[in-house]
Amino acid sequence: MSPELQLIADLCSRAFVGADIRRVDVAPDVDWDRVLQLARFHRVQGLLSHSLTTYGAFLPPATAKALSAEGRAIAMNNLRVATECREIRSDFDAAGVPLIFLKGLTLGALAYSKSLLKMGWDIDVLVAPDRIGTAGEILRRRGYHLSMPEGVGKLERWHRQRKESLWAHDSGLFVELHSRLADNLRLIPSVDINSPTRNVEVVEGIRLPTLQDDDLFAYLCVHGASSAWFRLKWITDLAGFIHGRPAPEIERLYVRSQELGAYRAADQALLLADAIYGSLEGTGLRSSVGRDPVSQRLFRAAMRQLSDAREPTGRPLGTWRIHWTQLLLKPGMDFKVGEAFRQVRDAIA
């Protein structure tokens, strides 16, 4: 990684490692404008702001001022999102529609020392596929309109082929309504609305249901792999989630992820988390997950994605590496053929 991205990763880690982290080394030729640009691209300003205010990491005054202001804005927006999540849960409970909150504030509370550090632009919720219509109606009553796909009549047909729809509110809030958790049905097929859950307090007095550790770990691996981990915040979330766990527990999470169908997505995630944050220190996984040459290729592809701070859709053929890596997430030709068909279908739909 570049000196700027390495510095950002070192500062991000303080949000879950805390005072035990090693001293942050700042390269003498670091480009501070680039640091700010990368922090915004990877959406980790809240984590960097926390490092500044809590541990006194040194940055030039202009950079520190910008990050502090953006960190405060992220925390304030998260408070607004927490209130909205509480109301959404209340409406879904009243309608008898079970839901699970994914990533977002619940993951922030589990991964970091403070729950409001994690930046997010939407609220991710999971419901049963046969409750999509009812869930959409609840969101419409809350003032949301269907943004993707366009046209309410397409909603249930859309969800038969895709995992989520996007709902927008005039206030600037967005909800991603999920009916499953992976684009490809052969990945983590049993992680769904019936998976074990627990309530997580995201701010005082607001508790939201999310997945238990085993299913959440498998889901985070597949979610990151679906975009080849091109944002640092995704692997930072996962590293924060597993940080501090005993080595046998991390090894157990990995074994369970294979049983749940995360396959090479978990290998890729752990290799990446270890390379950036040392997440596999003291575990037997450091050597074992890297034995598969395909997993190593997936890891190297993710590292290249992280180092190219441009939106994949904003550069010529920018998504090719993402599509290529998706073909490799599960061994076997049947998976590759099915995944290739899915990609073509989605591209022409």
**Extents of the domains making up the chain:** 1-59, 81-211, 212-349
Q: What percent of the chain has pLDDT over 90?
A: 72
Residues 27 and 55 sit within 8 Å (Cβ to Cβ) = no
Instruction: Report whether pLDDT(52) > 70.
Output: yes
> Interior CA angle at 199 toward 196 and 204, to 5°?
170
Instruction: Report whether pLDDT(237) > 90.
Output: yes
223-246 average pLDDT score = 95
Mean pLDDT of the chain: 91
Confidence at residue 318, expressed as pLDDT on a 0 to 100 scale: 66
147-167 average pLDDT score = 87
Banded model confidence at residue 19, pLDDT cuts 50, 70, 90: low
Confidence at residue 218, expressed as pLDDT on a 0 to 100 scale: 98
218-240 average pLDDT score = 96
Instruction: Report whether pLDDT(332) > 60.
Output: yes
86-105 average pLDDT score = 96
241-261 average pLDDT score = 96
Confidence at residue 17, expressed as pLDDT on a 0 to 100 scale: 80
More confident residue, 273 or 321: 273
Banded model confidence at residue 23, pLDDT cuts 50, 70, 90: low
Instruction: Report whether pLDDT(21) > 60.
Output: no
288-313 average pLDDT score = 90
Determine the distance from the C-alpha atom of residue 156 to the mean position of all C-alpha atoms in its chain, rounded to a whole number. Answer: 25
Instruction: Report whether pLDDT(11) > 70.
Output: yes
Banded model confidence at residue 41, pLDDT cuts 50, 70, 90: very high
Confidence at residue 152, expressed as pLDDT on a 0 to 100 scale: 64
Banded model confidence at residue 80, pLDDT cuts 50, 70, 90: very high
Confidence at residue 25, expressed as pLDDT on a 0 to 100 scale: 67
36-58 average pLDDT score = 86
Confidence at residue 348, expressed as pLDDT on a 0 to 100 scale: 76
256-279 average pLDDT score = 96
More confident residue, 49 or 22: 49
Q: Which fold has domain 81-211?
A: Beta Polymerase; domain 2 (3.30.460)
Banded model confidence at residue 315, pLDDT cuts 50, 70, 90: low
Q: Encoding tokens for residue 136? A: 């959409």
Confidence at residue 50, expressed as pLDDT on a 0 to 100 scale: 87
81-92 average pLDDT score = 96
Instruction: Report whether pLDDT(56) > 80.
Output: no
Instruction: Report whether pLDDT(58) > 80.
Output: no
166-178 average pLDDT score = 95
Residues 16 and 46 sit within 8 Å (Cβ to Cβ) = no
